[in-house]
Structure 1
């Protein structure tokens, strides 16, 4: 069973950040609290064995890709290409927060993390409203490839106590910050076209997406 550490995700001790970053940098897999739901993450490094482990832990098909947690709006252009101005407006207004933006992947995205598509590969990016997650990303120097901490088809965990025992047994470290503040999955917006297309409506309404993108 993984070690479980209680933490305040809004004000995490540096020692906890360093430990999480160390586990991830060595190919580990960690359960982290976020503003929306709990996530299971690895470092988005080429050839990282933690990447495949996440799919095994979740019992999820590897044909699906994992969204990335990044540190700030500037990462839209670092890991995306041809990012429309309206996507930057959404990021400035809703990041950090429960909004995931899908963009065309730049050459900085290792192929195994990108989703193939007709118009080219894409990557889904989010800056979570979690000081813990953002500090871990900055400490690692690479994004976190992550997904909700539940087996495929099961409800998303909205608290540390709700993370399935099988997942706790299978990962290397669990950070427990109690209930997630939002408790609803992020809204996913496709930014590969001329206007926002909501792929999944979650914590941010489709109406707010349309309004704030203008």
Structure 2
């Protein structure tokens, strides 16, 4: 059974964060809060862990549309082709925030994603997940646990999330109630602004 670890966003406990990072480094799967819905994720450098996440979602890893959670924009050049100033300004204006930006990928993507031309980048406005990424030292591959068929409580209440996912993952972080509105997905990969999904992030400033 997974561990249920309570971490507060205002002042995330260092010891608890370290514990989760150790589990990620060993290939563990975690469920964590973001500024939108709770997410399921693992260390981007661990192929076995990513395969497990894909299996849970019922997709093949090379076909999976996982997003990468970064600590800040300085991680981007690891996986993204050089972007122009206009694109960078859009990112800087909206991140951290409830958006997933689809950007052109470079050749450093993990092996499983080598054929992908684009990648979704998330920098959530949530201290817990960002601190975890910072301590881990590389992005966390992420997918939401939001399920259209689920009762809403199962994707917003950490206790119920634990009840449902406790046998599937290694850690469920209780960071308080989650949102049930996913991130707004914006495609910036071909110098146009295309809204792929309208979610929590406002579209007013695009």
Q: Same fold (TM over 0.5)?
A: yes
Residues 14-63 of structure 1: per-residue CA shift (max 9 Å, x gap): 01111111000111100111111100110000x52110111222334542
CA RMSD across the alignment = 2.1
Q: Do structure 1's residue 206 and structure 2's residue 203 form an aligned pair?
A: yes
The count of corresponding residues between Structure 1 and Structure 2 is: 203
Displacement of 1:135:
1.2
Question: Which shows bigger deviation, 152-161 or 97-106?
Answer: 152-161
Distance 2:39 2:105 in 1: 22
Secondary structure of 1:123's counterpart equals: strand
Summarize the alignment of residues 50-199 of structure 1 with structure 2, pairs less than 5 Å apart. Answer: 50-62=49-61, 63-113=63-113, 116=116, 121-150=117-146, 154=150, 157-163=155-161, 165-180=163-178, 182-199=179-196
Distance 1:108 1:72, change over 3 A: same
Distance 2:68 2:98 in 1: 13
Residues 107-147 of structure 1: per-residue CA shift (max 9 Å, x gap): 2221314563xxxx211111111111111111111100011
Question: Which shows bigger deviation, 8-17 or 138-147?
Answer: 8-17
Secondary structure of 2:156's counterpart equals: coil
Distance 1:169 1:111 in 2: 28
> Paired residue for 1:5?
5
Secondary structure of 1:106's counterpart equals: coil
What 5-or-longer segments of structure 2 have no aligned partner? Answer: none
Distance 1:80 1:151 in 2: 29
- TM-score between both structures, scaled by the size of structure 2: 0.88
Determine if contact 1:78/1:108 at 8 Å carries over to the other structure. Answer: yes
- TM-score between both structures, scaled by the size of structure 1: 0.85
Secondary structure of 2:77's counterpart equals: helix
Distance 1:188 1:12 in 2: 28
Displacement of 1:161:
3.1
Determine if contact 1:35/1:183 at 8 Å carries over to the other structure. Answer: no
Distance 1:162 1:197, change over 3 A: farther
Displacement of 1:92:
1.3
